[in-house]
Amino acid sequence: MIKFFRKIRQKLLSENKFSKYLLYAIGEIVLVVIGILIALQINNWNESRKQEVEQIKLLQNFKNSIVSDIESFDHYIEEYGTIHNSINIIQNHLNDDLPFSTSLNFHFLNSTAYWAQRIDQGVFSTLSSTDLSIISNDSLKKEIVSYYTFAKTNFDMKMAKYSKIIDNASENLFSTRFDGLWNTTESAMIPHDFEALKKDKEYKYFINSLNQQIFWLVEEPLTNADKKAKNLLQLIDEELNTLEK
């Protein structure tokens, strides 16, 4: 092809057709420029496609993590419902001076149950600001950052505070009033003296405060996290549908 164009140039010059040669030279330059532009366009398309594939992969990783979060939120919200029930049963027996029943041993145990609930921050924590810039949708990016900021601050802080309440009670309250904490073999926490518990101001203060503490320090952040996660999951699904078309 290069030889072909060279022969045309040589023929025009040998025939002294300078004006035609000039037009030809300009045309050749235009063709070269067009070729370069096409090559750049193809390169840009390939780069854009590569980033799009990386973006889809990243969003799918976020999606998998968030789906797992939602499953755990729903599970824990249900579990804490059973803890409220146990607390209420204990309160009724203590406040209404009801006789001891061995079924209470489970409720004493269940009232103190705690799981180390967390929002999975693995995918987000491995990213740099450059990695996050792969996500082209600024609104979606903002929601992702908001979700994991909530996880690191509000959620983790409140869960840690509730954990500390149970740990302190285990050290300073339960050890002198029950035979053991979280004796899961027997699913029981047996009081040393049930009748004394009815008059025990320190224990009654603890059990009477627990419902509200669970609500504000566990259920409220769990419910907020569940709402945020489901909203974010919807946005990610919408973005994936757009990218994968």
How large is the angle between the packed helices 220-243 and 138-150, nearest 10 degrees? 150
Q: Is 102 part of any domain? A: yes
pLDDT for the residue numbered 11: 56
What's the rounded mean pLDDT across residues 177-189? 75
Q: Is 25 part of any domain? A: no
Q: Is 162 part of any domain? A: yes
Per-residue pLDDT reduced to its tens digit, 96-112: 999 999 999 999 999 99
Number of domains in the chain: 1
Average pLDDT, the chain: 86
- Residue 6: pLDDT band (50, 70, 90) is low
pLDDT for the residue numbered 185: 63
10 or 78: whose pLDDT is higher? 78
Q: Is 49 part of any domain? A: no
Q: Is 57 part of any domain? A: no
Q: Is 84 part of any domain? A: yes
Q: Is 30 part of any domain? A: no
pLDDT of 135 strictly over 50: yes
pTM of the complete model beyond 0.95: no
What's the rounded mean pLDDT across residues 3-22? 52
Q: Is 112 part of any domain? A: yes
Residue 129: domain span:
63-243
